[in-house]
Amino acid sequence: MTDPDNISTRHSALEHGRDAGEPPIRANRVTKEYIGGSIVALNDVSVDIHENQVTALIGPSGCGKTTLLRLIAGLEYPTRGNVQVYGQPISGPGPERGMVFQAYTSFPWLNVRENVEHGMKIQRIPKKEREKRAQHFLKQVHLSDFSESFPIQLSGGMKQRVAIARALAQDPQLLLLDEPFGALDAQVTWEMEEMIIEIIESENKTVILVTHDIQEAIYLADRILFFTRQPGEIKADIAMEFKQGKRFPRKEDLLVKPGYVEMEKRLYQMMREEIQGRIS
Amino acid sequence: MISADSGTQTRNNEQAAGNAPLYKPPRERFLEIRGSVGRNESFILGILGVVAFFGIWEICHYLTPASQQKFLPGVGQVVGKIYALILEKGYMADIGKSVYRIYVSFFVACLLAVPLGLLMGCFVKLRALINPTIGGLRYLPAASFVPLLLVYFGPTDFAKLALLFLGCVFFLIALILDNVLSVPKELIESAQTMGAKRTHIVLKVAFPAAAPQILDSMRNMIAVSWTYLVIAEIVAATDGIGAVMMRAARFLHVDIIMAGILTIGILGVLTDITFRVAARFLFPHEYTRR
């Protein structure tokens, strides 16, 4: 079973790295090949993710953005190079990197509250504390009234909110979002995006978001990493300077911000280059 | 314009005040592709099917020439025979013995198959090690073990339990393995990103995620177990439903044989219902609706 000493040493190693100024995530010349090299999802990618920022990974389908996120999560390993979390090489998944998947991952046999408490249970957090934190995060994702419901009773958007609350409740240093709204309709996606802004403002997490939605990336991110189609490389590393460090609780307020249209146009043009490259 | 309007209003006076009239969709045919069936309707149709089955049986009985009728007794005679067997021949003890054999052998089979299927579903190398063997053993007909079991254990109760066990355990393992393999990858991965270790993932994620399907596999396999009962009880039969039937065969007592078949059928249906009810209690999350 879990060895509590082991966890604490690992955590303290991360804290140590953080204090020494190591970035939350550092990818060192990462290459990821599949099927013996016939697919190169990532090709010699080096990048640092900055603390307390929202970094969006964006690019055409199959560009390796999800692959990079899965390497960061520790669910897969690179073919070449390495990925570090606060200077420590990643040797598998860990609770300091909470993840929300595109597929619904609420455990159907647990009610909403038990789902949110599950990660904390794994970490042996006392019951009182678990309940307190579950309550807090359920409130934050507007699900307080559904704490005793089963996932089967929830809509797709609500299930994703459970997943977000569950990931936050394990108190990760990094929140990894893998196209979390990919299966939701446009209106629900919009609501979820604004909710994410609320959460980022109050929780101060380092967030890495994989998305194929240009507007979503601009709205949520402080920095966008644009990936080329296979073999995946970073085509552009764009800081959202036009937002002047602000985040907008209402999406429409962003749309009228000077510089927004130019940013969107630039990203669409980059996307077109990548897609047309594939067709020709 | 105004007069036309008021004319419409007078015509639809009743509806104008309240809701629009109910829309009558075209009548659904009996054989409607992906049609609908209500709870009551479904129940009535089910009963109708059962009645039709016994009706056809009864008709066949009356169409049989009187001299041959003892080879195809009517429904009433067979049901009456069950009753008579219970009252006069201690049939309840035979039923009890058969039920005991089925449930004990099946329980032991589950005791092996559930952990094995779960572990094989979670650990690829274990699966590679064990699955080819299990896959092969599945093709061995259970009846072919009868002589072997007789040599090993003689005409004991244990031999019968062993046969029933062998009849279902390999299929059960294969089915449970499939159930565990069909647990979505993302459920396991999300547990890993919460920091879950292997033991936790096997016992607290993979098992509960697959449990409803595992119970369903068990329900299907215990039905197969019932089909092996008579074969098992042929092995130097002394008691049990199968033994009663084999003894009757020697004296051409077709009514007793059919009484036995009917008894097994009824017990099978009851077993099935038990499993369905158990599923509702064990997995409320599967049956809750908004």
Q: In what order do the strands lie in the sheet with A223-227?
A: A97-100, A174-178, A206-210, A54-58, A223-227, A234-239
Residue B213 touches partner A, C-beta closer than 8 Å: no
Question: Do residues A218 and A185 make contact, with C-beta atoms less than 8 angstroms apart?
Answer: no
Specify the pLDDT at position B25: 85
- Tens-place pLDDT, residues A125-168: 999 999 999 999 999 999 999 999 999 999 999 999 999 999 99
Tell me the ipTM for this assembly. 0.90
Residue B211 C-beta-side C-alpha neighbours within 13 Å: 19
Which residues from A are below 8 Å from B286, CB to CB? 108, 152
Q: What is the pLDDT of residue B233?
A: 86
CA-closest candidate to residue B190, choices A103, A91, A69 = A103
- Residue B15 has a pLDDT of 54
pLDDT band at A209 (very low <50, low <70, confident <90, very high): very high
Stated pTM of the model: 0.86
Mark yes or no for CB contact B194/A109 under 8 Å: no
Residue A25's φ and ψ, nearest 5 degrees, are -135, 130
d(CA B213, CA B222): 14
Q: Lowest mean pLDDT: which of A238-242, B5-9, B64-68, B98-102? A: B5-9
Contact A100, A178 (CB under 8 A): yes
Task: Tell me the per-residue pLDDT of B248-260, one tens digit each, with 9 for 90 and over.
Answer: 989 999 999 999 9
Predicted local distance difference test score (pLDDT) of residue B124: 96
pLDDT of residue A268: 95
Phi, psi of A185 (to 5 degrees): -80, 170
What span, in angstroms and rounded, lies between the C-alpha atoms of A59 and A41? 12
Band (pLDDT 50/70/90 cuts) for residue B154 is confident
Model confidence at A8, pLDDT cuts 50, 70, 90, reads very low
Query: Counting Cβ atoms within 10 Å, is residue A41 exposed (0-12), middle (13-18) or buried (19+)?
Result: buried
What pLDDT does residue B1 have? 43
The nearest alpha carbon in chain A to B287 belongs to A152
Span B24-50, pLDDT tens digits: 888 888 898 988 888 999 999 999 999
Does residue A5 have a pLDDT over 50?
Answer: no
**A134-160 burial by CB neighbour count: b if 16+ within 10 A, else e?**
beebbebbebeebbebbbebbeebbbb
Give contacts of B189 with chain A, Cβ < 8 Å. 73, 75, 93, 99, 101, 105
Per the listing, tokens 């455990």 go with: A107
> Which amino acid belongs to residue B168?
C
- B9 compared with A96, residue with greater pLDDT: A96
φ and ψ at B169, to 5 degrees? -65, -40
Is B187 at the interface with chain A, CB within 8 A? yes
Q: What is the mean pLDDT of residues B171-195?
A: 96
Are A95 and B193 an interchain contact pair (Cβ–Cβ within 8 Å)?
Answer: yes
* C-beta atoms of A150 and B194 within 8 A: no
Question: What are the C-alpha distances in Å from A187 to residues A56, A163, A221?
Answer: 21, 19, 19
* DSSP single-letter state for residue B145: G
pLDDT of B3 reads 47
User: Residue A2 pLDDT more than 70?
Assistant: no
**A79 at the B interface (CB within 8 A)?**
no
Interface size, chain A vs chain B, as Cβ–Cβ contacts under 8 Å: 83
**pLDDT confidence band for B141 (50 / 70 / 90):** confident
Q: From the candidates B187, B189, B193, which should be mutated to test the interface with A, based on the most A CB atoms within 10 A? A: B193
Mutate to test the interface with B, among A2, A85, A107 (most CBs of B within 10 A): A107
Q: Cβ–Cβ of A109/B283 closer than 8 Å?
A: yes
pLDDT of A75-90, one tens digit each? 999 999 999 999 999 9
Q: Reply yes or no on whether the pLDDT at A237 is more than 80.
A: yes
pLDDT band at B218 (very low <50, low <70, confident <90, very high): very high
Q: Is A242 touching B (CB cutoff 8 A)?
A: no
